[in-house]
Chains A and B, each alone.
Chain A
Amino acid sequence: MVDIPLDHVAGIPPAEVGEVELYHPRSWWTRYVFSQDAKVIAVQYSITAMSIGMVALVLSWMMRLQLGFPGTFSFIDANQYLQFITMHGMIMVIYLLTALFLGGFGNYLIPLMVGARDMVFPYVNMLSYWVYLLAVLVLAATFFVPGGPTGAGWTLYPPQAILSGTPGQDWGIVFMLASLILFIIGFTMGGLNYVVTVLQARTRGMTLMRLPLTVWGIFTATVMALLAFPALFVASVMLLLDRLLGTSFFMPTLVEMGQLSKYGGGSPILFQHLFWFFGHPEVYIVALPAFGIISDLISTHARKNIFGYRMMVWAIVAIGALSFVVWAHHMYVSGMHPYFGFFFATTTLIIAIPTAIKVYNWVLTLWRGDIHLTVPMLFALGFIVTFVNGGLTGLFLGNVVVDVPLSDTMFVVAHFHMVMGIAPIMAVFGGIYHWYPKVTGRMLNDVLGKFHFWVTFIGAYAVFFPMHYLGLLGMPRRYHDIGETSFVPASAHDLNAFMSVAALIVGFAQLVFLFNLVWSLFKGKEAGGNPWGATSLEWQTPETPPGHGNWGKELPIVYRWAYDYSVPGAAKDFVPQNEPPSGAVAQGAHP
């Protein structure tokens, strides 16, 4: 343990210039469109991600209409249903959640939270957004190409992804793969920025152990994404070559619609290994930023330091590392060597331990706190409920033999929607309600916010909790219509209809949220610089919204960790990170 004498403060010269060369916008175009300012890029990322996310939301309504009332809607047939599930899954996981957490929250919060003026490579950061936008446009274009988007399922398993029995096999799949390749290139540019900014552009005094957990979560998730996305890249390129040039990386000898195909000898399992080597870390790429954001929301709104900060940091790092050795738990029934099951079941269940520690520490932070039930806090509570629920059902699916009857059923669908659909989206909403005042200078409307929370939380829970039991019944996933079976009772159809109604209600509640976003921009209550009384640096900017370069003339100096809430003896119930120790101020040493 290093002792840090308090009187060091006297010797610190003010940091007058930032460590990055700031770029200066010269025109409206370079200020708002081709901007290199991370805050503008963050807003661009968020708007784009939410726009394409709305498309995915509408697709989910279509799916729910079909599942709840099969045969009623003639405009949805089997092919379209498969196209809907594929696009819904791919958009939500990659183009919405990954882009929003890292490109949106990451871009906005990293420089502000570590006390930097901007990202370290602003130009590359700008390119990252434009490549991402291109990827989104290519993806959206698949709705308009002949044959429509691919219906291969979001996992895009060969051989069926590129064979004629699957919708969208001529153009849809090609566009999808091209879009993924673009996304990965764009993400890599952004990701380099996030990582190096955290490593190199922290302001003085900002040691790693003083970082807010949001930064820890986003940082670790970005490192993981940088290392894991190449797997999807390789898989996409090889699948694209199989489709376009007729190579046989993944394609075995097979008979396509009665004809012996040109392919031969390839291994579909190889694709699955590559896909899930990306796919499993992807789950935590979405989860870790959510973990970080929730930690900060709970701490701020319960006016209490996060319980067990060190354990929280270690858990994030441990989860990040472990998530690279569990990928094959998605493949227990894929026909891979059965002995892999022993290894991957063990590693998978080990991850439960650091994850559980995080949950305990969140609820222990609430213990003896001063809980303000603001909208961000409500979303944080909602996150804990849905995440614990989804995490615990993960213990079913991770335990290899239990997975055997449950895999490929609605149980899986319910599990991953709860744990990486609803839970992260709760963190997204909580984060937006929390930081919107910083981004715009105005508060979001509280009444609309509470309405939005309760409908979303209760509604989504009512959709996905009962869905587990359809899976237990044996109802397989990716069926547009279960049809006649001996094991699904008629009452299950009523349950499906109920879930569909709940899903539609939840969907429409999101329109209230969008309305709130726009309305509050003009009519919201003035927020002031630090409406929640938060300690971390982003709330201490001289201007709100933060101006270009974030900090005015001097970079802030950090004197304490990000969680000094309700410190005994302090006048207020929070002490900002850049507030000098009281002893130093008394000496008048701080300029």
Chain B
Amino acid sequence: MAVALILLLVAIASVLFHVYSPWWWTPIASNWRYIDDTINLTFWITGAVFCAVIAFMAYCVLRFHHKEGRRAAYNPENKKLEWWLSIGTAIGVVAMLAPGLVVWHQFVTVPADATDVEVVGQQWMWSYRLPGKDGRLGTSDARLISSENPLGLNPNDPNGQDDVVVQNDDLHLPVGKPVKVLLRSIDVLHDFYVPEFRAKMDMIPGSVTYYWLTPTRTGTFDVLCAELCGAAHAQMRSRVIVEEEKEYHAWLEKQRTFAELSGQRDVAKAAYKTGSE
């Protein structure tokens, strides 16, 4: 009796917790509402199965627990029942998998008008690079990294000269424009993770990974690292600021390009040299 009740209470408490607890995902800020919908659908299906199994079990414990003189039924199998249960399960699985795969197809198909944004992870900070007026990012190589060129951009690539480099600062994105986020790391695995965007992908040193999204509302969002990257993994933070087109351009105007940054360093170096002689 008590056992059956407690089992039932576990199921009921789980459902109540799900419905009434204040802990739920943060409001979404990207186009990936479909992911949230798929999660909700999965919650409905799995929740129903969970409750049904536990309730059935609790009923069995209540109804068939040992009493003097009770003898269990002899029932080796029931092919028909087993087949129906398997088919039912298969239908449930398809109901979750099919929408999942459709949404995944959207997730991996980057729209043609998406603008590139590069995110570079390193222990333990984030840097960003946006294409300049030509709309294209220059090439990069980890071997070119130095204190003058912390992102390892190729100085001989004309596409890279006007790239906007953002270090130790927030990333700004225009609202409503699709973005292809190119992910690069210069030391270990990292993962560019903005909970409100729902999307994430590991960054792997030696190759460039990507995902795409369209920010759908303005605001300031935290950036965290979601792949263990060493001692200060938890402190690797930054922010993404999604804003209207006009404000975004105003911000973009103020940023330095790669050419400016490297040129300025050359000037500074020259000045230092003349001063010391």
Q: Do A and B come from one complex?
A: yes
A21, CB-defined interface residue at 8 Å: no
A402, CB-defined interface residue at 8 Å: yes
B179, CB-defined interface residue at 8 Å: no
A465, CB-defined interface residue at 8 Å: yes
A138, CB-defined interface residue at 8 Å: no
The CA-CA distance from A309 to B78 in the complex, in Å, is: 10
The CA-CA distance from A472 to B24 in the complex, in Å, is: 6
Query: Interface digits, B107-145 against A, CB 8 Å rule (1 contact, 0 not)?
Result: 110000000000000111000000000000000011101
Known: A303-B72, A304-B73, A369-B60. A265 touches B206 (CB 8 A): yes
Q: How large is the interface on A (under 10, 10 to 19, 20 to 34, 35 or more residues)?
A: 35 or more
Question: A469: nearest residue on chain B (CB-CB)?
Answer: B23
Q: Are B234 and A481 in contact (CB under 8 A)?
A: yes
| Tally of A-B Cβ pairs under 8 angstroms | 324
- Which residues from chain B contact A341 at a C-beta distance below 8 Å? 104, 108
* Closest chain A CB from B13 CB (angstroms): 8
B:1-24 near A, CB below 8 Å: 3, 6-7, 10, 14, 17-18, 21-24
Q: Are B74 and A568 in contact (CB under 8 A)?
A: yes
Q: Are A401 and B38 in contact (CB under 8 A)?
A: yes
Q: Are B187 and A478 in contact (CB under 8 A)?
A: no
Q: Are A308 and B46 in contact (CB under 8 A)?
A: no
Q: Are B35 and A487 in contact (CB under 8 A)?
A: no
Kindly specify which of B50-58, B158-166, B257-265 makes contact with the partner chain.
Answer: B50-58
A139, CB-defined interface residue at 8 Å: no
A338, CB-defined interface residue at 8 Å: yes
The CA-CA distance from A563 to B75 in the complex, in Å, is: 11
* Closest chain A CB from B108 CB (angstroms): 4
A:407-449 near B, CB below 8 Å: 407-409
Known: A252-B204, A353-B86, A369-B64. A163 touches B188 (CB 8 A): yes
- Which residues from chain A contact B228 at a C-beta distance below 8 Å? 82, 152-153, 157, 160, 478
- Which residues from chain A contact B248 at a C-beta distance below 8 Å? none
The CA-CA distance from A396 to B35 in the complex, in Å, is: 11
Known: A82-B231, A384-B53, A485-B222. A378 touches B77 (CB 8 A): no
Q: Are B35 and A405 in contact (CB under 8 A)?
A: yes
- Which residues from chain A contact B235 at a C-beta distance below 8 Å? 78, 483
Residues of A within 8 A of B (CB): 78-79, 82, 151-153, 157, 159-160, 163, 165-167, 252-258, 260, 265-269, 302-305, 307-311, 333-335, 338-339, 341-342, 345-346, 349-350, 352-353, 356-357, 359-361, 363-364, 366-373, 378, 381, 384-385, 388-389, 392-393, 395-396, 399-402, 404-409, 458, 461, 465-466, 469-470, 472-474, 476, 478-483, 485-487, 489, 491-492, 495, 563, 565-568, 573
Residues of B within 8 A of A (CB): 3, 6-7, 10, 14, 17-18, 21-26, 32, 34-35, 38-39, 42, 45-46, 49-50, 53-54, 56-57, 60-61, 64-66, 70-78, 81-82, 85-86, 89-90, 93, 96-97, 100-101, 103-105, 107-108, 122-124, 141-143, 145, 147, 152, 183, 185-189, 191, 193, 195-196, 198-207, 209, 220-222, 224-235, 237
